[in-house]
Amino acid sequence: MDDKSPCNDIDFKNSQRQYSHIQELVNNLPYIVMMFLGAAIFIISFESLVWAYLGAITYLVYAVGGTLWIMVFICPCCAYWNTRFCPCGYGTIAAKFRKKEAGNRFNEKFRKHIWVIVPLWFIPVLSGVPVVIRSFSWPMLLLLIAFILNAFVILPLLSVKHGCKGCPQRNSCPWMGPETNRQADQPS
């Protein structure tokens, strides 16, 4: 495990905590919950069982593929690659797929590849809302509310306030937003 990333030249010892496997699992829970809530929305979106399960399985495969995409195309540029400082554990898995990328291209790669997974946040909503409008159903409405709360409130809040809070490369990370918005989070 590297204490200092070769491409980002960041001193982790003074700035970071390491995560156990249990903590990594906990940090992945909102994404896992999003996957299964999204799949459940597909299952009750279609009357045909074939289309229902096809939609749900496709969504699950897309969600797992999306995490692999992040590991292959973003993590090798991250200061947390192959360290236990990565809050979700992708960094150590990513090291099994690809070597560390030379140069400091995290920001550029993040902006380029994060769009691959963004539809995961919207496809279940686009599938479920027309069903609620056409033929109101409480299970669908409750699933949609749970999905939206988890995907758009809990998941980003956990990332920004917990996982990314102490990240040494947060100033170059597009996920964290403009630097002016982050001042309040800086340790005094």
Instruction: Give residues in contact with ligand SF4 (CB under 6 A).
Output: 74-75, 78, 80-81, 86, 88, 90-91, 94
Shortest Cβ 157–ligand SF4 spacing (Å): 16
Residue with tokens 């550029």: 108
Angle at 58 between CA 54 and CA 62, to 5 degrees: 175
To ligand SF4, the closest distance from the beta carbon of 45 in angstroms equals 30
The two tokens of residue 91 are 């960094």
Q: In what helix (H) or strand (E) does residue 155 lie, and over which residues does it extend?
A: helix 155-158
Taking the complex as a whole, how short is the minimal distance between the CB of residue 167 and ligand SF4, in angstroms?
7
Stated as kind and residue range, the H or E segment containing 36 is helix 21-45
Among the listed residues 77, 63, 56, 72, the one whose alpha carbon sits nearest the alpha carbon of residue 143: 56
Q: Give yes or no for a contact between 175 and 159, defined as CB atoms under 8 angstroms apart.
A: yes
Name the minimum Å distance from CB 121 to ligand SF4. Answer: 17
**Residues contacting residue 183 through CB under 8 Å, at least 6 positions apart:** none
The nearest distance, CB 39 to ligand SF4, in angstroms, is: 22
Spatial neighbors of 25 by CB under 8 A, at least 6 apart, are 89
**Shortest Cβ 147–ligand SF4 spacing (Å):** 22
* Cβ contact 74:109 at 8 Å: yes
- Residue closer to ligand SF4 by CB (options 25, 145) is 25
Q: In the complex with ligand SF4, which residue's Cβ is closer, 127 or 169?
A: 169
